[in-house]
Amino acid sequence: MQFRLSFLLVSAISSMLLACSGSGGAARKDDALSLGMKYERPEHAQLFRWRSWQESRGCLEILNADSTVMATIYRDSSDYLADALKPEAAVVLDSSGAGLATMSSTHVALMEPWDSQLGNWSGGGYLKYIRSEAAQRRVRAGNVLDFGGNPEWNHEAILAANFKAFCTYPFGNPLQGVEWAKGFAVVPVVEYEEPTPLGRAEWMRALAWLIGDAQADSADLAFAAIADRYQDIQRTGPLIEDPLVVLTGSVEQGAWTAPNGNSFVAQLIEDAGGQYIFSDAEASGNVELSLEALYSLREKVDVLGLVLYERDTAGLSVSSWMSSSPHHKQIVPESRRVFAANTMTCDYFGWWVAHPDALLANVRKVLYPDSSTQEVPMCFELLRP
């Protein structure tokens, strides 16, 4: 009964807001500056920003790749009503809720730098993919609810959960088209589309802002330290006259699919001192090549980088990877230098997204082992022959 009353209240507020936004009172986004509003852009992320019309950040705008606004997030209905722009794609958080519900292991990883015990995490989907020890402790203690996601969603758990925001990504929104969830505050998190490693990690600031000012301040400090370390590693790299040429990607349906030159992978390789072979491929989407075309590039490649899932960690080698598919023999460079992140043992889609400084140090150490004697954590490792 308590849930139904809360749901009806949220639905009523949402209906009121939609009615306001459709009443013709919405100003064009171009009018923001003329209305005395200010934009605060993050230092590295390109797909979110804050807009304010008072002393504090009034709302969070989540952007498409062309900088148009995908969604505008308000902490409560009073912030929405105070906004002269009244955007139609408005999401008002549930001020009576607590914490964030997450649909991706990456979301949880981006919370941990500013909330080490994950006290602001309410539950989520795909929990079996989350490697964080703090997250696993909360799951074992029953402090978070499991929404399922593989193969089915647990709608009862979603209904029973208490959260301010339901953080989704395109492949994980169980509320899409669900009638009873229309009043929920669904926040799209698009960190995976950021073109730089620091841009992806900076989404921790957006997630923290959803909770409150104190959490936002903590995230600002945590990210600033990460960015400083990343840039220090970048600045103190060795002078390399002939950088190693790096190929990365995977075989899908008989073709080689790789990140484009605008991707965070390309930026990471360049920052580590390498040269990404598809750095000039700046079109949106992945680069796709026939295996025949890829084979013709093999002589230009010094090192191959992979992200894979291999249960037989002890048996993983260049030879075993080559024997796992007839196509792989065509791809391995003549140097037979291959480095890989095995997601069986490395939290590549979790902790490492939130710590790009460690990832940069790791990739540089793999590409140029003599560049530093300092011990660094390793996710990517050179495979033995």
Q: Which of 236, 252, 275 is the last residue of a domain?
A: 236
Does one domain contain both 218 and 367?
no
Does one domain contain both 175 and 227?
yes
Q: Six-digit token pair at 87?
A: 């955007």
Interacting residues of 204 by C-beta distance below 8 A, sequence separation 6+: 110, 111, 113, 114, 219, 222, 223, 354
More confident residue, 196 or 34: 196
Does one domain contain both 54 and 196?
yes
Q: What is the pLDDT confidence band of residue 172, given thresholds at 50, 70 and 90? A: low
Does one domain contain both 250 and 261?
yes
Query: Whole domain around residue 191: which residue ranges?
Result: 1-236
More confident residue, 261 or 11: 261
The average pLDDT across 359-371 equals 93
- What H or E segment, with its residue span, contains residue 362? helix 356-367
Q: What is the pLDDT of residue 29?
A: 57
- Give the number of other Cβ atoms within 10 Å of residue 53's Cβ: 18
Does one domain contain both 269 and 216?
no
Q: Which region among 32-41, 123-132, 199-208, 271-280 has the lowest average model confidence (pLDDT)?
A: 32-41
Q: For residue range 299-333, what is the model confidence (pLDDT) as tens digits?
A: 899 999 999 999 999 899 999 999 998 888 888 99
Does one domain contain both 309 and 225?
no
Q: Which of 186, 217, 236 is the last residue of a domain?
A: 236
Q: What is the pLDDT of residue 285?
A: 84
Does one domain contain both 245 and 201?
no
Q: Which of 236, 255, 277 is the last residue of a domain?
A: 236
Does one domain contain both 204 and 310?
no
Strand order in the sheet with 250-252: 250-252, 255-258, 287-290
Q: How many domains does the chain have?
A: 2
Does one domain contain both 159 and 71?
yes
CATH number, domain containing residue 111:
3.40.50.1980
Does one domain contain both 197 and 62?
yes
- Give the number of other Cβ atoms within 10 Å of residue 211's Cβ: 23
Q: What is the pLDDT of residue 373?
A: 72
The average pLDDT across 186-201 equals 96
Q: What is the pLDDT of residue 104?
A: 93
Residue 3 pLDDT exceeds 50: no
DSSP secondary structure letter of residue 384: P
CA dihedral of 212, 215, 220, 223, whole degrees rounded to 10: -130
Q: For residue range 221-280, what is the model confidence (pLDDT) as tens digits?
A: 999 999 999 999 999 877 788 999 999 999 887 889 999 999 999 999 999 999 999 999
Interacting residues of 230 by C-beta distance below 8 A, sequence separation 6+: 197, 198, 271, 356, 357, 360
Does one domain contain both 365 and 378?
yes
Q: What value does the mean pLDDT of the chain take? A: 88
Q: For residue range 77-98, what is the model confidence (pLDDT) as tens digits?
A: 999 999 999 898 899 999 899 9
Does one domain contain both 332 and 370?
yes
The average pLDDT across 24-36 equals 60
